[in-house]
Structure 1
Amino acid sequence: MTSLDPVLDKDGVRLVVDGETATVTLTNPARRNAQSPALWRALAEAGRALPGDVRVVVLRGEGKSFSAGLDRQAFTPEGFPGEPSFLDMARGGDAETDAIIAEYQEAFTWWRRSDIVSVAAVQGHAIGAGFQLALACDLRVVADDVQFAMRETSLGLVPDLTGTQPLVALVGYARALEICATGRFVTAQEAVASGLANLAVERDQLDDTVRDLVAALLAAPRDAVIETKALLQGAVDRTFDEQRAAERAAQGRRLKDLAGVGE
């Protein structure tokens, strides 16, 4: 029987593995799962701790909000204890600032790995860093009370936690610019209509809906899903003929595998 003891439980992040499914939970509902560098390091550690047989990763937040974004302490002169403050970063060299932000971004990158499918279950507020964390996942299922917002530009900053590329890919440049520049809320209805979310359901149906989606994702053979995800991820950067060739090569590998024919 699979143990459901946490593989990791620290700094507002809990990772539990149940066979081929892993669940990463943001565990600070009292602060609406506000984010910090410590939380980002824990998220990156969760990605490194995933067992190799995990196929689907669900990301969720405890409480009323998925994540209200960066903890407001970041905007104080002292920032977080032991962490570079915004003032420190402003005074530092370009290479130093780049390295700090690159480390933060690691929490948002591993969800796109081709060997897993990541699903964000989003309710309530998903603002700023919370919005970008949801965008880091392959799929998004949202509750009817969801409120996405990209507030960085309104604060004189830019979205820098890997959210800009998936946002443009999902909703298009013009809508992405308008969402970021205005900082307005995107509701569940608009999220589905614009392609930002795959499904919207009533809040009390969110967990069951995600569970059904996970079961459907696990129904297909793992290697076929991996090959398909890689094909789709690379499609935008390939020409039509390059994509045709990639499809042929992938299908050739699948046929050999299914027939038990070695390379």
Structure 2
Amino acid sequence: MTELLNRDGVRLALEGEDGSLATVTLDRPERRNAQSPAMWRALAAAGRELPGSVRVVVLRAEGKSFSAGLDRQAFTPDGFPDEPSFLELARYSDGDLDAVIAEYQEAFTWWRRNDIVSLAAVQGHAIGAGFQLALGCDLRVCADDAQFAMRETSLGLVPDLAGTRPLVQLVGYARALEMCVTGRFVHAEEAERAGLANLVVPAAELRAAAGDLAAALLAAPRDAVIETKALLREAAGRTDDEQRAAERAAQGRRLRDLAGLGE
């Protein structure tokens, strides 16, 4: 294992000889991996520093909880050291506030880019920002003790860390609205039924199950995976005719590449 980053509660490491598998680890177990702007910057840096050899990224967390969400210190008058408090942010201009939130969102958005497949291994609580971070990944393997909750609305806020679109895509508008507005816990069994979780396993088997799925994802040829992921990601925004045309174009590229005729 080669460690590439270790700061502010985030570790990034490469596994294996070819560097095709990366692991991002949330490492604040004493705080149940509660998140802060510093952690978000470290997560964004992890995305930027991924070598081109990486095909699969596993997101995991130390301790009993995946992430308890935003660190409660954010809600105090002083906030975090050297960071604007929520009260200060409220006084920013629209443009400045938009820029700050956009910077925070970067930690949650790179996981779905087409050149990688990302997989979250979730145990215990995944609340608020923790829920949205898991939603940022392509796939989720959950321990049977996993509990998801979107608590922002209950606090008078909204989920603003890029989690609303994948949540609606996974469970539908009505269920997403109910989950967000009530802030209730969605346990692992329901998460699997609703489409939030690809797989639920006993907590003791979570790391092995995530490893097995990562290995299966790595077994397919990389370019075919990239093309397939792009087709699936864009399918909802296309008409039937547009999607069929995209399939034909992608298959043409694959056939030419396999025949040695690619550019």
TM-score grouping bracket, smaller chain normalisation: over 0.9
User: Is 2:86 the counterpart of 1:89?
Assistant: no
User: Is 2:177 the counterpart of 1:171?
Assistant: no
Question: 2:102 is matched with which residue?
Answer: 102
How many residues get paired?
260
User: Is 2:140 the counterpart of 1:143?
Assistant: no
User: Counterparts in 2 of 1:1-263, with a 5 A limit?
Assistant: 4-18=1-15, 19-263=19-263
Please list the CA deviations of residues 195-219 of structure 1 after superposition, one character each: whole Å capped at 9, or x if unmatched: 0110000000101111110111011
Q: Which amino acid aligns with 2:11?
A: R
Q: How many Å apart are 1:5 and its aligned residue? A: 3.2
Please list the CA deviations of residues 64-104 of structure 1 after superposition, one character each: whole Å capped at 9, or x if unmatched: 00000000000001111111111111111111110000000
CA distance in 1, matches of 2:247, 2:103: 34
3-state DSSP of counterpart to 2:184: coil
TM-score computed with the length of structure 2 as normaliser: 0.98
Please list the CA deviations of residues 124-155 of structure 1 after superposition, one character each: whole Å capped at 9, or x if unmatched: 00000000000000000000000100000000
Q: Which amino acid aligns with 1:36?
A: S
3-state DSSP of counterpart to 1:34: coil
3-state DSSP of counterpart to 1:8: strand
Q: Which amino acid aligns with 1:162?
A: A
Listed as ranges, the gaps of 5+ residues in structure 1 are: none
CA distance in 1, matches of 2:78, 2:251: 55
Q: How many Å apart are 1:262 and its aligned residue? A: 3.2
CA distance in 1, matches of 2:240, 2:86: 44
3-state DSSP of counterpart to 2:35: coil
3-state DSSP of counterpart to 1:53: coil
Q: Which amino acid aligns with 2:59?
A: L
In the TM superposition, structure 1's runs of 4+ consecutive aligned residues that sit over 2 Å from their partners are none
| Aligned-residue CA RMSD (Å) | 0.6
3-state DSSP of counterpart to 1:236: helix
